Amino acid sequence: MEVQGLSPEASEKRITLSEVWAVPKMNISVPRISKRHRQTWRHLENLDVPDCSKGEVHLLLGANVLEAVIQHERDSLTFPVSRHRGLYPYLFKGVGLCFVLAKALAMGGGVSTAADQDDQPAVTPGLPAPPVNTNVSGLRDWHYRKYHGKQPVVDEETAHMRSLRAQRRIWALYGTKTGINPAVGWPVKKEWEDKMEYESLAYPDTLQEMVQKYEAEKRAKEEAIKERMDAIDAKMENLEKWKREILEKKRKKERELQAAKEKHDRLIEEVKEYLGFKVDSKDPRFKEILEKKELEEKKRAKEAKKKEKQAKALAKLRQMTNEMMEKEMPAEKE
C-alpha cells in the first residue's frame, strides 16, 4: 500500500522527546529512552535512533511504517512481525504508539491528523512558533529553574518568594537582573529596633567601659603569664638536683633488689647443702627448710642489731665517763 501525500522531507525529521511524549494517549514516565529500547528500535526498517543522552531522538520513518500505522490504528494491539522485519510485538503494544508515529510523520509535513490539529497551538503566519517546553525531568518549574541557576518566577505555587527575606536572597543570588529594588537589603524599622534591643541587653556597657575591661583583662593575663614563667625558671634551677635525687633513688632500689636476689640464691644453696641432694624449689620439703632458714636469718639479723645497739650504748657510756674524769682531774690539782 502506497501512502499519498508523503513528501520526501517527511522521511527524516528531528524532533525533541518532549514533542513526541506530548501526544495524547501516550503515557511515558521516564525522561529518556533506555539503552535496551534503542538497540531494539535500530532493527526497524527505515528507522535509525542515535544516542539520546541529550534528550533528543531522530525518527526516520518510511512509507511502510506509515502504512502499518494507518492499517492497525483501530483494531490492532501489536505490529505484525511477519510483514515488518524486526518489529518486536512486546515493544509496540497499545494503540498509543500509533499516535506517536502518526504525529511524528505529521510534523514532517506528510500527514496531518485531527488530534494533532487540536493539540498544536495556533501559529500566526509571519511570527515565530511558540517555544516548546523541553523540561522532561518531571521536576516542578521552581526546582527546575533552581537546578539550572535561573531566577525563580513568583506565582501562586511560590508565594513564599514574596517575603522580604526571600527577595533579599534572590537579589543576592541573581543581582540586578531580577528587577528587585536593592533597598530591600537595608533593615526595616522593626529590624533596627530588635537589633538595638539585642545590643542593649548583650552589650550593656559603653565603649569606654568595654575598652577599660579589655585592658584590665589583658594586664591580668600578662601578669599570670609572667608569674608562670618565673615559677618555671625557679624550677629549672633545681632540675639538676632533682635529677640526681631520682637517679640515686633508682640505684638504691636496684641495690636492694640485687641484695634480695643474692640472699634468696644463698638460702637455696644452703638448703641444698643441708639436704645433701638437689631438690626442686617446688618441693614442700624445700619450702619448709627455706622458711626455717629465713627465720634463722631473721633471728641472726635481730641479734646482730641488738649487739650493735649494745655496743653503741657502751661506747657512749665510755665517752661520758671519760669526759667526767677529765673534768674531775683539774679540780684535784687545784
pLDDT tens digit sequence for 29-76: 333 444 444 444 444 434 444 443 333 333 333 444 444 444 444 344
Q: What is the pLDDT of residues 208-229, one digit of tens each?
A: 999 999 999 999 999 999 999 9
Q: How far apart are the first and last CA of the chain?
A: 172
Task: Tell me which range, 125-139, 155-169, 204-218, is most confidently predicted by mean pLDDT.
Answer: 204-218
Give the C-alpha separation, 81 to 72, whole Å.
Answer: 13
Q: pLDDT higher for 267 or 236? A: 236
Q: pLDDT higher for 220 or 263? A: 220
* pLDDT value of residue 113: 40
Q: pLDDT higher for 283 or 305? A: 305
* pLDDT value of residue 126: 63
Q: Which of 197, 198, 173 has the alpha carbon at shortest distance from 185?
A: 173
Mark out the alpha helices in 132-238 (DSSP H runs). 141-147, 164-174, 189-202, 207-237
- Mean pLDDT to the nearest integer, 156-176: 81
* pLDDT value of residue 167: 87
- Mean pLDDT to the nearest integer, 238-249: 93
* pLDDT value of residue 152: 80
* pLDDT value of residue 334: 60
Q: Quick one: 61 exposed, middle or buried, by C-beta within 10 A (0-12, 13-18, 19+)?
A: buried
pTM of the predicted structure, to 2 decimals: 0.29
Give the C-alpha separation, 240 to 237, whole Å.
Answer: 7
Q: pLDDT higher for 68 or 293? A: 293
Q: What angle do CA 30, 34, 39 make, to 5 degrees?
A: 150
- Mean pLDDT to the nearest integer, 242-262: 93
Mention every residue, 6+ apart, whose C-beta is less than 8 A from residue 96: 23, 25, 26, 27
Residue 206 has pLDDT above 70, yes or no: yes
Kindly state the percentage of the chain with pLDDT values over 90: 19
Mean pLDDT lowest among 51-55, 181-185, 195-199, 202-206: 51-55
Give the C-alpha separation, 169 to 219, whole Å.
Answer: 44
Buried b (16+ CB within 10 A) or exposed e, 255-281: eeeeeeeeeeeebbeebeeeeeeebee
Give kind and range of the element (H or E) at residue 102: helix 96-108
* pLDDT value of residue 129: 72
Q: How crowded is residue 139: how many other Cβ atoms within 10 Å of its Cβ?
A: 14
DSSP state of 14: E
Mean pLDDT lowest among 125-129, 140-144, 282-286: 125-129
Cα dihedral 27, 33, 36, 40 sign: positive
- Mean pLDDT to the nearest integer, 196-218: 93
Q: pLDDT higher for 303 or 289? A: 303
* pLDDT value of residue 143: 86
* pLDDT value of residue 111: 39
Residue 250 has pLDDT above 50, yes or no: yes
* pLDDT value of residue 232: 95
Q: What is the mean pLDDT of the chain?
A: 69
